Amino acid sequence: MADVSIRNNSRESRYEINVDEAVAGFADYMLTDGLITFTHTEIAAAHEGQGLGSQLVRFALDDVRATGERSVLPLCPFVKAWIARHPDYDDLLYGTRPR
């Protein structure tokens, strides 16, 4: 069984998912006051279809929720579609949260 870990690599402005200590995917973001904009998500071809993208996005959004400092603007089609399938994350979306 592979060892999967996820972290916020703030130096690179992205969340990363690692499989056996190697980066298997990432979700790039940009930060502004009160907003995190997800711009691109990518999973390595060798790891596609394993649910890693979903794990990565859930972790990232849970992290955003835990800090409570920012709303989410999902420009990335994958993040946008993931949120659409998980309406319990709608409260994080830009324009739905009180500032």
CA–CA distance from 61 to each of 1, 45, 50, 92 (Å)? 26, 23, 19, 8
Tens-binned pLDDT, residue by residue, of the chain (99 aa):
689 999 999 999 999 999 998 999 999 999 999 999 999 999 999 999 999 999 999 999 999 999 999 999 999 999 999 999 999 999 999 987 554
Q: Taking the mean position of all CA atoms in its chain, how far away is CA 52?
A: 11
- Residue in the block written with tokens 């691109």: 40
d(CA 49, CA 68): 31
d(CA 68, CA 62): 10
Nearest-Å Rg of the Cα atoms of the chain is 13
Structure tokens at 25: 């995917």
pTM greater than 0.85 (yes/no): yes
